[in-house]
Chain A
Amino acid sequence: MAAHLSYGRVNLNVLREAVRRELREFLDKCAGSKAIVWDEYLTGPFGLIAQYSLLKEHEVEKMFTLKGNRLPAADVKNIIFFVRPRLELMNIIAENVLSEDRRGPTRDFHILFVPRRSLLCEQRLKDLGVLGSFIHREEYSLDLIPFDGDLLSMESEGAFKECYLEGDQTSLYHAAKGLMTLQALYGTIPQIFGKGECARQVANMMIRMKREFTGSQNSIFPVFDNLLLLDRNVDLLTPLATQLTYEGLIDEIYGIQNSYVKLPPEKFAPKKQGDGGKDLPTEAKKLQLNSAEELYAEIRDKNFNAVGSVLSKKAKIISAAFEERHNAKTVGEIKQFVSQLPHMQAARGSLANHTSIAELIKDVTTSEDFFDKLTVEQEFMSGIDTDKVNNYIEDCIAQKHSLIKVLRLVCLQSVCNSGLKQKVLDYYKREILQTYGYEHILTLHNLEKAGLLKPQTGGRNNYPTIRKTLRLWMDDVNEQNPTDISYVYSGYAPLSVRLAQLLSRPGWRSIEEVLRILPGPHFEERQPLPTGLQKKRQPGENRVTLVFFLGGVTFAEIAALRFLSQLEDGGTEYVIATTKLMNGTSWIEALMEKPF
C-alpha cells in the first residue's frame, strides 16, 4: 500500500490504483508464466507503482535488463519487453528476437510501450522483420507517476533539453495526455492558467484532446479548481541557486532518484560493542524518502538551519517515552507500553537516520567553500556586482573545481544580469575552455541556446525590475519560523512560486508589466462544466491548484508551495506536477554534451 499518497487534499492513490489496474490487466492478457525484459530507465519509476510482489502474483518469474544478443535462458511461456518507444531500443529487441533459439521451446513475445505506442517504432520492427513475432503490442500510459501525497512527476529526463533546445514536443504531448488522464479520474479542471511557450502548447493540446473525447461526458465532480502551467524557461534562475531546505540539500549533495537516496555507509554503521565496529559496511546506504515517514514529513521542507532544533526536540520526546517504562506499574500499564513499542522503535530508527544525514550535510554546509559559494550566489540574486567578472568564479576555475559547479555559477550570474557583457562572457568561456577542455564548447553552445548563458542585448538589465516587483529578494528572512517562501533559499523567493502565489492573490493583472518581460505568452482558458458539476464553495474551503512545471522542478520550489498550502489564510492548496524532479546539477548535466 502507499498510504502516504492519500494524506493530501487530493487522493493520489486513486491514480496509483488506476495505473496498477491497467498493468494487471495487461499482464493477465499474456496467460502463463512470464519473464519481463526491462528498459533499464523504467525500473526506477515502475518501482513507485508496483513492487515485485504484484508482478509475481501475475506469474512474472524472471526479470532481465534489455541488452543486445541473445536473451538469457528462462523457462517461461511469455517474454514481455517493457520499453520506452525509442528506435535504438527497437534494434536491440529485434536482435533479441532474431537470435532466439529455434530448437528450444517456443516462447510468446509481447511488447509494452511506456508511455505511448509508437508507429515509428513499429515500422522499425517491421523493417527488421520481427513485428509479426509479437502477439500483444500495447501501450501503458504511465505519464504522471505519484511520488507523494501532493507530488506527481513524469520523470522524463530529457524533457527540458528536448523542449527548449531541440524543438521536440514529445514530452509536452505526454504531459497533455497525463493531464487528460488526471481529469478523467479527478474531473475536468475548470480553469487553466499558463505562462510560457510550452505551457501554451500543452493547453492547446488539452483543448484539442478534449474535443476528441466529446460524447463521453465527464461526470466526475472536479477536485482541482485551477491548473497553472509554467515553463521552466520563465524562471531559469531558481534551479541554479543552491537549495537550502533539508530535502533540497540532500538532493543537492547526494541526489534523490525516484524518492530513494544513496548515502555513504560509514555514518550508518550499527554501533556495536567490541570489535564489531571495524568492518564498516561498504555498500551505500539506500533510504526511501517520502511523507510516509512521519519525521521526514515534518522536516523535509524546513530550512536546514531549523532542522537541528526539531531533531533534538524529537530526541528528548522519544527518550522520555522510553523512560515511561519505569512508571509503568500495573500489568495494564506495561501492556500499553509494550503495544506502543513498535511505533516508538520506528520513530527512534527514523530519528537516528536523519540525525546521521543531518550530520553529513552539516559537514558540507559548514565548509568554507560552501559558505563562499553561497555568498556569491546571494550577491548575484540580490543584484550585487553581477556585471563584472567574479573573483570567486575565477578561483574556482583556476583550481579546477567541478565544471558543473562553475557552470551553475556563471549561468546564475548571467540570468541575474539579463545576460553578461560580451567581454565578461567571452572571458568566462575562454577560461572554461582552456581549463576544462575545448570539447566543452558544445556544452556552452547548448547553454546559450537554452538562454542560460547569453550576451546582454539592448544593454538593459531587466532583472532588478523583476526582482523588485515580485519581491524576489527578502532581507529579513526567518529560517526558523518562516513568514515568506524566501526561507527556502535563505533570502531568495523562487520566481516560479511567486508567480503561483500572485496568481491566487491578487491575480496576475497586478503584474502585467513583469509578465511581459518574462519570456512567452501568459493566458487563461476556461473549460465549461455542466451545471450539475459546478462547485459551491463552503466558506473557508480552500481552492486546489495543480501547478505543472514543464521542464522540471526543484525540491525547494515544492517546499515553497507546500508552505503556501499550509498558510492559514492562504486560501489555496497546491498539488505539484512536473516533467522531472531535478536540481541545478542534474539540470546542467542533462544539457552537457561530451563528444567522446
Chain B
Amino acid sequence: MAPGALLLEAQKEYEKESQKADEYLREIQELGQLTQAVQQCIEAAGHEHQPDMQKSLLRAASFGKCFLDRFPPNSFVHMCQDLRVLNAVRDYHIGIPLTYSQYKQLTIQVLLDRLVLRRLYPLAIQICEYLRLPEVQGVSRILAHWACYKVQQKDVSDEDVARAINQKLGDTPGVSYSDIAARAYGCGRTELAIKLLEYEPRSGEQVPLLLKMKRSKLALSKAIESGDTDLVFTVLLHLKNELNRGDFFMTLRNQPMALSLYRQFCKHQELETLKDLYNQDDNHQELGSFHIRASYAAEERIEGRVAALQTAADAFYKAKNEFAAKATEDQMRLLRLQRRLEDELGGQFLDLSLHDTVTTLILGGHNKRAEQLARDFRIPDKRLWWLKLTALADLEDWEELEKFSKRQEGCALPSPSASFCGDLHETTQQI
C-alpha cells in the first residue's frame, strides 16, 4: 500500500475517533514516508474530479502535515487554489472539463484567454482576483477585452456604453482607453470613441486618434491641456491643411496658447502669415516691429527701407505708441540724410547711429554739419559735449580740445575732462 493511501485511511479513522488512526500513522512514520505520503495526497487531489474526494484527500494531507516539522506549505496552498479554479471552470454553466495536467500545460494565461473568448468576463476577473495576478496581466487586461466587446453592442446607446465602461474601469491602471476608443472607431462608433477618449489620461495617445477621427478642434484643446507643445504643433499643422485660412485663424483666436505657438512657427517658417495674424488681431505694436524687421531684412534700396519704416510708424501711431512712431520717423529722416552725406562727402554713413554719424562728421572735419545735425535731432548738450571730447581726443587735436574745454567752462556740466584728457594724453604719448 502506498504511504499516501495509508495516510488517507489514517485520517478517516481519526475522524471516527478510532485508535487505528494512530496505528496507521505510526506505520508510515516508522518507514520514514510521511513527507512522501503528504505529497501523494496533495497530488492525488489534483487529479480527482469530484470535489468531495478532493476534499478528503486534502484533509488527509493537512492531517499528515501536523506531524511534520518543516513541510513547505506552497504545494498544498497552490493545489487548493488550482483546484478551486479548476472546479469553477468545470462547473456545468461554464463547461470546460480540464484535467489538472492539461491545466498545468496550458498555464493560467491561456485559460483566461479562453474564458475571455467565451465572454466569461466576470469569472475571469474573479479568478484573477483570487489568484492575485498583477493587475496589468490580469484584471486590467480582461476589463479591456470586455470594454472592446462592449463597444460592439450596437443596440446600446453611446452614452450608456461609455458610462458602463467608465464605471467598471474607473482609473484601473494599465487600461488604455485609447485602445478601446480605437476599437469603437473601428466599428464606426465615432461618438462613442470620443466619449471614451475623454477618460484617457495620456494625451499622447488621445490626440492622434482624435485627429484620425477628424475631431481636430477637440484634439487641439486636448493637446493644449497637456502642455506638450509638440503635440499642439502637430494638431495645428493638421488643422491648417484641413480648414480654410479664415476658419483656421478663427480657431486660433480662441486658443491663445496655440496662437502664440503658431506665431513662433511663422516667425521662422512663414513670415507673411505672421503679418496676417497680427493684422487679424489688430496688434499694431507687433505689426510695427514686423515692418522694422522687414526694413532691415528684405529691402536693399533706401526708398524701400524708408517705405517700410513709414508703414511701421503708421502702425505705431495706431498702437498709440507715440514714442516709437516718432523714433521711427526720426530714423527715416536720418536714413535720407545719411544717404545724402554719402553722396556728397563719400564714405560710409548708412546704418550708423545718430551719435556715430555726428562723430564721423567731426572726425572728417565737417564740424558745421555735425553741429547742424546735433541741433536738428536735439542731441542733449551733455552728450554732445562727451561726443566732441571723445572725437577730438581720437583726432589727437589737443589744441582744439583745450579751446573746447575752455569754451565750455562756466557751463553747468560735469567736468571730468581734466582727468579724462589727462588719461588720453598719456596713452597717446606712450604710443
Contacts and interface: CB of A to CB of B under 8 A. Distances in A.
B352 interface: yes
A65 B228 CA distance: 29
Contact of A119 (B231, B285, B295, B327): B231
B174 interface: yes
Interface string B350-373: 011111100000000000000000
B230 A119 contact: yes
Given A173-B229, A395-B386, A596-B296, A400 B355 contact: yes
Contact of B227 (A205, A215, A439): A205
Given A173-B227, A441-B327, A166 B260 contact: yes
Contacts of B228: 173
B186 interface: no
A64 B271 CA distance: 32
A383 to B, nearest CB: 24
B377 interface: yes
A169 B324 CA distance: 29
Given A166-B260, A445-B285, A120 B237 contact: yes
Contacts, number: 129
Contacts of A176: 227
A168 B229 CA distance: 8
B383 interface: yes
Contacts of A167: 256-257, 259-261, 263
B323 A166 contact: no
A87 B268 contact: yes
A269 B263 CA distance: 51
Contact of B383 (A116, A429, A435): A435
B229 A169 contact: yes
B230 A116 contact: yes
Interface in A248-279: none
Contacts of A205: 226-227
Contacts of A394: 382-383
Nearest to A445: B289
A278 to B, nearest CB: 21
Contacts of A595: 292-293, 295-297
Nearest to B296: A595
A434 B296 contact: no
B337 to A, nearest CB: 13
Contact of B233 (A119, A399, A426): A119
Interface string B273-297: 0000000000001000100110111
Interface in A467-500: none
Contacts of A426: 323
Interface string B26-60: 00000000000000000000000000000000000
Interface stretch (A206-214, A221-229, A562-570): A206-214
A38 B331 CA distance: 42
B135 interface: yes
Given A168-B260, A216-B173, A434 B289 contact: no
A215 B297 contact: no
Nearest to B324: A441
Interface string B373-414: 000010110110111001000000000000000000000001
Q: Which of A123, A168, A205 counts the most chain B CB atoms within 10 A?
A: A168
A201 interface: yes
A166 B324 CA distance: 21
A204 B224 CA distance: 12
B383 A123 contact: no
A509 B379 CA distance: 51
B244 interface: no
A437 B351 contact: yes
B323 A435 contact: no
Contact of A123 (B234, B264, B414): B234
B354 A214 contact: no
B227 A172 contact: yes
B107 interface: no
Nearest to B259: A167
Given A87-B269, A119-B234, A168-B261, A208 B227 contact: yes
Interface string A150-170: 000000000000100011111
Nearest to A399: B386
A215 B351 contact: no
A215 B176 CA distance: 12
Interface string B320-359: 0001100110110010000000000000000111111000
B233 A442 contact: no
A436 interface: yes
Interface string A424-460: 0010011101111111011001000000000000000
A441 B390 contact: no
Contacts of A172: 227
B201 interface: yes
Contacts of B257: 167, 169
A547 B166 CA distance: 39
A88 interface: yes
A442 B292 contact: yes
Interface string B127-148: 0000000011000000000000
Given A445-B289, A595-B297, A208 B226 contact: yes
A173 B356 CA distance: 45
A208 B101 CA distance: 48
Contact of B353 (A204, A398, A435): A435
B292 A441 contact: yes
A204 B227 CA distance: 9
A397 interface: yes
B225 to A, nearest CB: 8
Interface in B224-276: 225-231, 233-234, 237, 256-257, 259-261, 263-264, 268-269
B380 A436 contact: no
B114 interface: no
B20 to A, nearest CB: 52
A395 B414 contact: yes
Contacts of A395: 386, 414
Question: Chain B CB within 10 Å — which of A172, A395, A426, A430 has the most?
Answer: A430
Given A173-B227, A201-B227, A431 B174 contact: no
A118 interface: yes
Given A120-B237, A167-B257, A435-B383, A215 B135 contact: yes
A441 B296 CA distance: 13
Contacts of B352: 437
Contacts of B261: 167-168
A595 B267 CA distance: 13
8 contacts: A116-B230, A167-B261, A208-B201, A397-B383, A429-B323, A434-B355, A439-B292, A595-B297
Interface of A: 85, 87-88, 116, 118-120, 123, 162, 166-170, 172-173, 176, 201, 204-205, 208, 211-212, 214-216, 391, 394-395, 397-400, 426, 429-431, 433-439, 441-442, 445, 595-596
Given A119-B234, A120-B234, A169-B229, 12 more contacts: A120-B237, A123-B234, A205-B227, A208-B226, A215-B174, A429-B323, A430-B323, A435-B354, A436-B355, A438-B328, A445-B324, A596-B296
